[in-house]
Each structure stands twice: as C-alpha cells, then as structure tokens.
C-alpha cells in the first residue's frame, strides 16, 4: 500500500524538478501575467538575453489599473498607459496569449482563467499576484509570486518554493440561510487571525466545502491569502468536474475521460497527516462585516463595533483603537446603524455570475438609498458581464441605480479612477480593508454580495430581510 498522502503532497511531488534541503524547484504549468507586476520581469529577460521558455503556458491580460468606463477613451494616467502598452508590446514580441481590453475574455485573471478552463486540477500555476490562491479551488497548486520570480518562471518554467507546512481546515456544521462563503472566511479569520496559515498550504475540507459551488470555493481559497497561506486548496469532486466540462480550454473527447480519471484521485487520502489541523463549526456563523483595517477585524452584522479593550493583549488593543480611529467609528455603535457613502460589488473575491445573481435577487424593483453617492457593480470578466446581460441582470442593477461597469479590479484597490476619497465609507465585497486600500483616507468594510446589496438599498448596513 502506498503511503497516504495529502492532496497538496500529490501535486507537489509530481512537479518537483530538484529538491534542496529547505526548498524545491517546482515545474510551473501555467503562468498568468498582468500589467502591474510583469514589466520589470520582461526587462530582466531582455537584459540577460533570455526568452520565455514555454510560450503556450502564458496567459496575459490587464486587470489592475484599467478603466471600467469609456474604455476606448484611453487610460486615466500616464503610468497606467505605460504599463498597459508595455504588457501589449511584451506579449506581441514574444508571441504570448493576450486578451485585449475589448476582448470579452478580458477580466481579473483569477476570474478569467477558471471560467475558460485554463485552471485545471493537478496543475501548478504562478501569477504575480497574491490572490492566486483562488485557483486552488480546483485542486491546483497556485502561487502568488513577486516580480523576480516572474522573470524566473518566464525564463525557466520553474519556481523555487520553500517546503511548505500543511494545514487542514475542516469546515463542518450547517450554514445558516443568508450566510455565504465570504462570511465563513471572515468569521474564520476573526477566530484564527490573519497569520494563522502563514507560509502553509491550506486545505479546506469537510461537509461545508463539499456543499459549496465552485464560485464559493474560489471565494474561500481567495481569502486563504488573507490568512497568510502560500496556497489554498480543495479536493476534486463532481462539482469540480461538472464546472469544467465544456469550458473552452478544458480537455475534450478521449482526453476528457483520461483527465477526469486522474482528477478523481486528487483528494487527500484517508489517514494522511497534516502538520496542523483546525476544526471550524460554521453553524453559528451569521453574516459578517469588518469594522477595522484587517479582514480579521470582523463582527456579525447584528453586533456592535467592539470595544478595543476587549481585544486580547496590549498590542491588539492598540491596533484596535488605531483602527477605530482610522475608520471613524466608536465602540458600541450597532453595525446596522452605520451609514455608507459608496458600495463596491466586485473583485476576484466576489464578482462571478453567482454573486451577481444574488445581488440582482435582492435589489430587484428597489432603489439604491439616496445617501449613497456611488454604487458600482464591476463584473469579474467580460464573459461574466455578457452572461449577466443575457440574464437581464444589468437591467435590474441599472433600474436600481447601480453603475454597471466593464471588468477589472477597479475599486478593490483603486489603481484606476474608481476609488474612495478621504473619509468616504464603503461597503465592499473585496478582500482587503487596509488603511488607504481603496483610496487615501478611504474606509473599507468587507462583506458578502448579499449584505452589500441590502446595504446599498438601506443606506446603512442591513440584511436582505430588513429591506
Ligand atoms: C497589485 C498586486 C501585486 C496586488 C497583490 O499581489 O495582491 C493586488 O492584486 C492586491 O490585491 O493587493
Ligand atoms: S481584484 Fe483586488 S484582490 Fe483581486 S487581484 Fe485585483 S486588486 Fe488584487
């Protein structure tokens, strides 16, 4: 009997090119490239006279700093223009697959690759972006890497990775109605902290995960990055295989049969050992909203802003007090009394068709509250946008008073024109709420698309059943 192995070990071992004492050289199957982190990597290639090793492994598109409105009018800043032009030139020069801003396949790379069937079980992916963990929902080892590693992967198809510890988070119990993967992830971060999986390969397992759609599994793995995990990963089951069937780059015919036979082995074996095991019962989890400046500074929608004195040690108390000060909030304020200036529904965490359907179901025949200055819905990709329009969702959004934009990262990090002004408060379905994340002095509250939708209508944090 071969030794029982974790899912992570199965994929990891198959990709090792060379093993060193504390690290390995891993073969990378797929390399996703964006406009922000790749320019210097290509410059490095040129300076050293090298070329991309396996051009077909690369898929590139611009997502971070592109406009989501009037795209044909050009970019909003010189630097954004230069980054876009550089990406286009590099892809052209080296013959790399590139989706231009007018191609329906353009969008946030972590939305684009899965929906096209580029993200497949058992492969390794590298991308110069920390939320590459998202792809792990497909039993993929997907690494967020820095610019020097991008150059390395382009030139050699290999990535040096430290040997990772494995961690299993078993999600069990029953999710309450109105609770989504986003709430589970935020509640998990609240309980275990933003460094609980630092440097780990984090597997999500348990009956809760088995019951989630691929979109929701991607949301979970996306937020693994906020727990410090190097990769997030989930085993293959019928839901994975059904999602991939018929996608443009999924294997077909005989290859499909061979692939699914292999994919069916991609789960952790009974008896396999993890370095760390965590159990999390989701039965009590209510919808979550962050009140502070890390994704772990979270309470339920029905609670109040916590008192910094209730935070663990002195450091945590100071951090909580500082966060409240930045957020312009007072301890004891009921979350549901806090008014918002802006609503952002989008990002690689929550901008897929499932998210948009949930939002449409809540805002249908309702109006965005008068106090909301701007309510943006930014689909994760051109294909998500097209699908939503085929279903008529955009009409519901526009009727309600939302702006319906083109795909991109947008207000998730405000590298384009979509950002918060000093002091503005935003309900955002994204994954980071650090100081200044969505614009200097902006105040970000992370939540699920359902709560963001209800909040847009109520003008303050609200549950769908209250509006
Ligand atoms: C700009 C990019 C490098 C960054 C990341 O790596 O995650 C961004 O996507 C983010 O979400 O902060
Ligand atoms: S949507 Fe946000 S979190 Fe995701 S890649 Fe873009 S900037 Fe990063």
Percent of the chain with pLDDT over 70: 100
**Contact yes or no for 344/429 (Cβ under 8 A):** yes
**Contact yes or no for 26/139 (Cβ under 8 A):** no
pLDDT at 105: 98
CB atoms near residue 371 (< 10 Å):
11
Stretch 7-29: mean pLDDT: 98
- The response to whether residue 64 sits with its C-beta less than 6 Å from ligand 2 reads yes
Stretch 231-237: mean pLDDT: 98
pLDDT at 138: 99
Extract the runs of DSSP E, i.e. beta strands, from 305-423.
342-345, 374-377, 403-404
Does residue 340 have a pLDDT over 80? Answer: yes
Please check if 196 is assigned to a binding site: no
**Ligand 1 atom 9: the closest Cα is on which residue?**
129
378 CA from centroid of ligand 1 (Å): 17
Stretch 275-282: mean pLDDT: 98
Last residue within a domain, chosen from 140, 163, 186: 163
Evaluate whether residue 206 is within a structural domain.
no
Model confidence at 133, pLDDT cuts 50, 70, 90, reads very high
pLDDT at 206: 98
Counting from 1 in the atom list of ligand 1, the atom nearest the Cα of 36 is: 1
Ligand nearest to the CA of 351: 2
Does residue 135 have a pLDDT over 90? Answer: yes
Q: Is 222 exposed, middle or buried (0-12, 13-18, 19+ CB in 10 A)?
A: buried
Q: Hey, which residues does 27 pair with through a beta bridge?
A: 158
Question: What is the distance between the alpha carbons of residues 429 and 10, in angstroms, rounded to a whole number?
Answer: 33
Last residue within a domain, chosen from 141, 163, 185: 163
Model confidence at 76, pLDDT cuts 50, 70, 90, reads confident
Mutate to test the pocket of ligand 1, among 131, 134, 350 (most ligand atoms within 8 A of CB): 131
Cα-based distances in Å from 103 to 110, 253, 333: 16, 27, 46
CB atoms near residue 105 (< 10 Å):
18
Question: What is the distance between the alpha carbons of residues 44 and 30, in angstroms, rounded to a whole number?
Answer: 20
pLDDT at 72: 80
Can you say whether residue 133 is alpha, beta or left, with left for phi > 0 and alpha for psi between -120 and 50 degrees? Answer: alpha
pLDDT at 202: 98
Does residue 109 have a pLDDT over 80? Answer: yes
- Domain tally, the chain: 2
Evaluate whether residue 311 is within a structural domain.
yes
Tokens of 433: 């709420």
Q: What b/e string do you get for 434-456 counting C-beta neighbours within 10 Å, with b at 16 or more?
A: eebbbbeebbbbbbbbbbbbbbb
Stretch 103-112: mean pLDDT: 98
| pTM of structure | 0.98
Pocket of ligand 1 (CB under 6 A): 36-37, 64, 129-131, 144, 413, 432
**Contact yes or no for 456/358 (Cβ under 8 A):** no
Evaluate whether residue 174 is within a structural domain.
no
pLDDT at 280: 98
Does residue 457 have a pLDDT over 90? Answer: yes
436 CA from centroid of ligand 1 (Å): 14
- The response to whether residue 433 sits with its C-beta less than 6 Å from ligand 2 reads no
Evaluate whether residue 321 is within a structural domain.
yes
Stretch 263-268: mean pLDDT: 98
Evaluate whether residue 285 is within a structural domain.
no
Nearest to 397 by CA among 349, 353, 365, 426: 365
Model confidence at 73, pLDDT cuts 50, 70, 90, reads confident
Model confidence at 117, pLDDT cuts 50, 70, 90, reads very high
413 CA from centroid of ligand 1 (Å): 8
Evaluate whether residue 249 is within a structural domain.
no
**Contact yes or no for 150/44 (Cβ under 8 A):** no
Residues 6+ apart with CB under 8 A from 219: 180, 181, 182, 185, 349, 350
Does residue 1 have a pLDDT over 80? Answer: no
Residue with tokens 């963990």: 133
pLDDT at 257: 97
Ligand nearest to the CA of 38: 1
Complex ipTM > 0.90: yes
Evaluate whether residue 177 is within a structural domain.
no
Model confidence at 125, pLDDT cuts 50, 70, 90, reads very high
Question: What is the distance between the alpha carbons of residues 457 and 467, in angstroms, rounded to a whole number?
Answer: 7
Stretch 329-351: mean pLDDT: 98
Q: What is the DSSP letter of 352?
A: S
**Contact yes or no for 296/193 (Cβ under 8 A):** yes
pLDDT at 153: 98
Evaluate whether residue 437 is within a structural domain.
yes
Stretch 313-318: mean pLDDT: 95
- pLDDT digits over 145-158, tens only? 999 999 999 999 99
Last residue within a domain, chosen from 137, 163, 189: 163
Stretch 372-384: mean pLDDT: 98
**Contact yes or no for 345/351 (Cβ under 8 A):** yes
pLDDT at 404: 98
pLDDT at 166: 98
Please check if 409 is assigned to a binding site: yes
Domain limits for position 316? 291-466
Q: Is 323 exposed, middle or buried (0-12, 13-18, 19+ CB in 10 A)?
A: buried
pLDDT at 80: 92
CB atoms near residue 43 (< 10 Å):
14
Model confidence at 134, pLDDT cuts 50, 70, 90, reads very high
Report the number of secondary-structure helices (H) and strands (E) in the chain.
15, 19
Does residue 75 have a pLDDT over 90? Answer: no
pLDDT at 341: 98
Q: What is the DSSP letter of 164?
A: P
Ligand nearest to the CA of 349: 2
Question: What is the distance between the alpha carbons of residues 123 and 115, in angstroms, rounded to a whole number?
Answer: 16
pLDDT at 348: 98
Residues 6+ apart with CB under 8 A from 190: 288, 296, 297, 298, 299
Model confidence at 74, pLDDT cuts 50, 70, 90, reads confident
CATH number at residue 28: 3.30.499.10
- pLDDT digits over 161-210, tens only? 999 999 999 999 999 999 999 999 999 999 999 999 999 999 999 999 99
Stretch 235-244: mean pLDDT: 98
Q: What is the DSSP letter of 104?
A: T
Does residue 71 have a pLDDT over 90? Answer: no
């Amino acid at each position: 009997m071969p030794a029982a192995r974790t899912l992570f070990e199965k994929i990891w071992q198959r990709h090792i090119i060379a093993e060193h004492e504390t690290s390995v050289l891993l073969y990378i199957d797929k390399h996703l490239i964006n406009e922000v982190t790749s320019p210097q990597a290509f410059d490095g290639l040129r300076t050293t006279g090298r070329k991309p090793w396996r051009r077909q492994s690369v898929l590139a598109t611009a997502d971070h700093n592109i406009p989501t409105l009037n795209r044909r009018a050009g970019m909003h800043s010189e630097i954004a223009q230069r980054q876009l032009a550089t990406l286009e030139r590099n892809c052209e020069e080296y013959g790399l697959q590139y989706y231009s801003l007018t191609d329906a396949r353009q969008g946030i790379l972590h939305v684009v690759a899965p929906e096209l069937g580029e993200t497949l079980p058992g492969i390794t992916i590298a991308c110069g972006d920390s939320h590459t963990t998202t792809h792990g929902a497909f039993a993929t080892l997907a690494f967020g890497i820095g610019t020097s590693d991008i150059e390395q992967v382009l030139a050699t198809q290999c990535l040096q990775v430290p040997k990772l510890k494995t961690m299993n988070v078993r999600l069990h119990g029953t999710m309450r109605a109105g609770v989504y993967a986003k709430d589970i992830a935020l509640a998990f971060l609240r309980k275990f902290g933003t460094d609980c999986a630092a440097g780990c390969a984090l597997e999500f397992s348990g009956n809760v995960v088995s019951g989630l759609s691929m979109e929701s599994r991607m949301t979970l793995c996306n937020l693994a990055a906020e727990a410090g995990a190097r990769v997030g990963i989930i085993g293959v089951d019928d839901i994975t295989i059904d999602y991939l069937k018929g996608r443009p780059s999924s294997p077909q015919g005989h290859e499909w049969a061979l692939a699914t036979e292999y994919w069916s082995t991609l789960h952790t074996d009974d008896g396999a050992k993890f370095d760390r095991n965590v159990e999390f019962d989701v039965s009590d989890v209510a919808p979550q909203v962050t009140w502070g400046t890390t994704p772990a500074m979270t309470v339920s929608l029905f609670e109040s802003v916590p008192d910094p004195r209730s935070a663990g040690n002195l450091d945590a108390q100071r951090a909580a007090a500082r966060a409240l000060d930045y957020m312009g909030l007072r301890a004891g304020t009921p979350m549901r009394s806090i008014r918002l200036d802006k609503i952002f529904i989008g990002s690689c965490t929550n901008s897929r068709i499932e998210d948009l359907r949930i939002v449409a179901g809540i805002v249908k025949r309702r109006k965005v509250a008068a106090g909301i200055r701007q309510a943006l819905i930014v689909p994760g990709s051109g294909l998500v946008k097209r699908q939503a329009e085929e279903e008529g969702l955009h009409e519901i959004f526009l009727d309600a008073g939302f702006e319906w934009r083109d795909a991109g990262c947008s207000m998730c990090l405000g590298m384009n024109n979509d950002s918060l002004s000093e002091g503005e408060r935003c309900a955002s379905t994204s994954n980071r709420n650090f100081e200044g994340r969505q614009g200097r002095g902006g105040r970000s509250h992370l939540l699920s698309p359902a709560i963001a939708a209800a909040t847009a209508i109520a003008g303050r944090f609200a549950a769908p059943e209250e509006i």
